[in-house]
Structure 1
Amino acid sequence: MSMKPIEFDRRYGELDQVISAYVGLQADDAPGKQSEALQAYLRHTWHARPWALATAERQIREYARNPPGRLRLSLGEFYPVPDVGLPESAIQDWLFVIADHLKHSIEQGEVPPPSTPRTHWEWHARFPELGQLLGGWFSQDMPDEFPDHDAAVDDYIATTDPQLVARLKGELHELLALALEESDYALAVAELGMEVDPPRPYSPSGWLAHLADSLGGAFKADYGPGAAAD
């Protein structure tokens, strides 16, 4: 019988967040050496959810100490570690190394400085709503579904909770504040799921700025019946 979601999160929720950061990357952590994936997890989590680091360290260490047998895995009672490119015999030691890195980072207060995302996981962890827009409305099928980019954006606004639209605008401003090279903005929108080119004559950053400006009209303040009109 599969584990209930609340029980899964209590035991493995943050463990799963850490392991997800390794998708497509090397699990080459070693004593004194953090993998690119673990650096991305630490960089994002220290600034977004610092309290989760201790939970991750505990869950990973407990899992490494009590690895599941095949029967319990088949019953769905344990978290099955996805393929990270390591032989099964090396997984336990690797998990202990990760736990030790997390513990050291917490105890020493080693907070990575803010930085541009460097992995696919980190891009989506930092800009989740922008990833939702670009991956959901600007896939390669967009030209078949909408007459142009503005129509796709209008559909997103019409079908999305205004609070999420507001979050998207904040993420756009945060991304533009990184002041990246144009090639890096092209990489960013591709990492976040955009499979079509920006509309002419915009560059990737130009279109993101245009998108942020266009969202300004999506929010209308109610000043009350006694407010004076300008």
Structure 2
Amino acid sequence: MSMKPLEFDRSFGELDQVMSAYAGLAADDTPDRPGQALTSYLRHTWHTRPWALSVAEQQLRTYAENPPGRLRRRLGEFYPVPDIGLPEAEIRQWLLLLADHIRRSVEEGRVSPPVAVPETHWEWHARFPELGQFLGGWFSQDMPDEFDDHDAAVRDYADSADPAVVARLVGEVHELLALGLEEVDYAVGIAELGMEVDPPAPYAPSAWLTVVARGLAGPRAEYV
């Protein structure tokens, strides 16, 4: 029997956040410096949920020092560390290395400065979660089969989402646009966030996002 949600979160919730940051990236951490994935996790977490760093450090260290035995594995009461390209014999030391980096970051106040552009897939989604839901859910490669056009997809989102969630999306779009990126960087960003179709002609990515945000703005605005 797998663990209940609260039990899982208490034991592995923040550990899972750290592991998620490594999706598609190498475990390139060294004793001297954290790798790209952990750096992204530290940067985002410092600026959004600094209290979670101590939880991550504790969960990483506890898991490394008390790996699940056969009974816990059979019952499903354990966290399966994703394949990050390391031999199984090296996982324990790697987890302890991550815990050491997080502890050092907290104890020495090593706050990573914010960056204009997220540097990993995980960081894009951690920074713009609702925009990722919107683009990945309504603008996947199946969008042309499900909706007549982009406007219809946006209207469907507006009709199905809670107004507070729509407002959160509008805020995230404005935050992304405020970065003042080149169009090629906006194209990369919306692709990282799950958009698998091009914006409608003749709009560039930033112009289309502007139109979407304007149409969705307001307590119960309709996309036009």
Query: Structure 2-normalised TM-score?
Result: 0.95
Asked whether the equivalents of residues 157 and 218 of structure 1 are also in contact (C-alpha less than 8 Å), the reply is no
Partner letter of residue 133 of structure 1?
Answer: F
Asked whether the equivalents of residues 167 and 218 of structure 2 are also in contact (C-alpha less than 8 Å), the reply is no
Displacement, 1:97? 0.5
Structure 1 window deviating more from structure 2 (5-14 vs 64-73): it is: 64-73
Equivalent residue for 1:67?
A: 67
Write the mapping of 1:89-168 to structure 2, written as runs, cut at 5 A: 89-115=89-115, 116-168=117-169
1:180 aligns with 2:181: yes
Write the mapping of 1:40-55 to structure 2, written as runs, cut at 5 A: 40-55=40-55
Give me the whole-angstrom Cα distance separating, in 1, the residues matched to 2:126 and 2:59: 20
Displacement, 1:13? 0.4
Structure 1 runs not aligned, ≥5 long? 221-230
Displacement, 1:217? 4.6
Asked whether the equivalents of residues 134 and 194 of structure 1 are also in contact (C-alpha less than 8 Å), the reply is yes
Partner letter of residue 33 of structure 1?
Answer: R
Equivalent residue for 2:34?
A: 34
Give me the whole-angstrom Cα distance separating, in 1, the residues matched to 2:31 and 2:82: 22
SS at the partner of 2:42?
helix
Q: Describe the superposition over 1:12-58 as per-residue Cα deviations: whole angstroms up to 9, x where unpaired.
A: 10000000110110011110121110011011111111110000001
SS at the partner of 1:194?
coil
Task: Count residues with an aligned counterpart.
Answer: 220
Equivalent residue for 1:228?
A: none
Equivalent residue for 1:202?
A: 203
Q: Describe the superposition over 1:118-166 as per-residue Cα deviations: whole angstroms up to 9, x where unpaired.
A: 1111111110110111001001111111111111101000000101000
Give me the whole-angstrom Cα distance separating, in 2, the residues matched to 1:144 and 1:59: 44
